[in-house]
């Protein structure tokens, strides 16, 4: 059993951030999530990951729901439907993240970090290809929650990082990509769980919600494989059983680049506007969109 009170039943989720329109990559991942929940006669949850105060917009959340429904995906619980483990928008769950953060802090897993983005960038020995987040230099890792910085953290630009067990190999069996192995401190460093603006970071919110919502399988893009290794460490220290993970290969653009919401890349709305049917969009499936002759919105 993963999470509270949902023995044996499959509970999957799709968790878009409402920071732009859904693109072909989301379509592939979310369609896979839907198929897997259907195959297991399970429940699929829609979770609105709207913690990015600068970029999240309710109108994007609405447009995403419209695109998901157009694609043929149906969810059983979500911000528009309610359900037993709501609310389903992360901005309405801050008290829960705060309690988990305090639990991590009081058990000595976090340290206060005052490094600026500049400090972190200039301390990187080599750019890291696997992940967008630079490996943290460890400058503040000797700090304790009760040192001067920790005690006055609310008035400083202080983030709270999880101290990873350097050198430890994190191994998991991915349902789609097979055995995965990541080394803490080499493939990823001490990561932020509470940001300096007091908002929970993705890793904390995601683990808290997947556990609290009784999720048994997480289907998401392969760009999050290294985050899964981070999250497994959080599950472990919180004493929670991790769900199963299934990471989908990334869809790339004609140049082999990653699709990103921010450049409007191959949005589902564009496909719909050009007269594609949901069946045709779902069938693209190939790793590259080269040759589809699409006009990509600027």
Tell me which residues touch ligand GLU (CB under 6 A).
15-17, 49, 206, 220, 224
261 is catalytic: yes
Which C-beta is closer to ligand GLU: that of 224 or that of 225?
224
Distance CA 184, CA 8 (A): 31
- Which distant-in-sequence residues (6+ apart) come within 8 Å of 108 by Cβ? 144, 145
Q: How far is the CB of 220 from ligand GLU (least distance, A)?
A: 4
Structure tokens at 204: 């904390």
Quickly count: other Cβ atoms within 10 Å of residue 107's Cβ: 11
Q: How far is the CB of 223 from ligand GLU (least distance, A)?
A: 8
Q: How far is the CB of 146 from ligand GLU (least distance, A)?
A: 32
Query: Which of these is catalytic: 82, 241, 261, 287?
Result: 261
Which C-beta is closer to ligand GLU: that of 61 or that of 206?
206
CA nearest 44: which of 68, 20, 19, 67? Answer: 68
Q: How far is the CB of 191 from ligand GLU (least distance, A)?
A: 14
Return the half-sphere exposure (C-beta side, CA atoms, 13 A cut-off) of residue 294.
26
Which C-beta is closer to ligand GLU: that of 115 or that of 215?
215
Which C-beta is closer to ligand GLU: that of 49 or that of 187?
49
- Name the residues annotated as catalytic: 261
């Amino acid at each position: 059993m993963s999470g509270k009170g949902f023995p044996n039943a499959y509970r999957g989720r799709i968790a878009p951030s409402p920071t732009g329109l859904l693109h072909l990559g989301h379509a592939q991942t979310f369609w896979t999530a839907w198929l897997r929940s259907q195959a297991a006669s399970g429940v699929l949850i829609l979770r609105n990951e709207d913690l990015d105060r600068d970029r999240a917009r309710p109108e994007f959340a609405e447009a995403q729901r419209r695109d998901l429904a157009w694609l043929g995906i149906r969810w059983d619980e979500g911000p528009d439907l309610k359900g037993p483990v709501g609310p389903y928008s992360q901005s309405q769950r801050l008290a829960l993240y705060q309690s988990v953060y305090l639990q991590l802090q009081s058990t000595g897993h976090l340290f206060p970090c005052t490094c600026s983005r500049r400090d972190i960038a200039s301390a990187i020995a080599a750019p890291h290809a696997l992940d967008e987040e630079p490996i943290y230099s460890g400058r503040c890792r000797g700090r304790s929650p009760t040192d001067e910085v920790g005690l006055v953290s609310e008035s400083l630009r202080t983030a709270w990082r999880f101290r990873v067990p350097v050198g430890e190999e994190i191994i998991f069996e991915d349902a789609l990509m097979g055995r995965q192995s990541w080394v803490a401190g080499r493939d990823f460093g001490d990561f932020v769980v509470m940001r300096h603006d007091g908002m929970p970071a993705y890793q904390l919110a995601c683990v808290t919600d997947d556990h609290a919502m009784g999720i048994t399988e997480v289907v998401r893009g392969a760009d999050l494989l290294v985050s899964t290794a981070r999250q497994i460490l959080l599950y472990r220290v919180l004493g929670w059983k991790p769900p199963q993970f299934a990471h989908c290969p990334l869809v790339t653009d004609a140049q082999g680049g990653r699709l990103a919401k921010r450049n409007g890349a191959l949005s589902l709305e564009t496909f719909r506007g050009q007269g594609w049917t949901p069946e045709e969009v779902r069938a693209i499936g190939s790793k590259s969109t080269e040759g589809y002759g699409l006009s990509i919105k600027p």
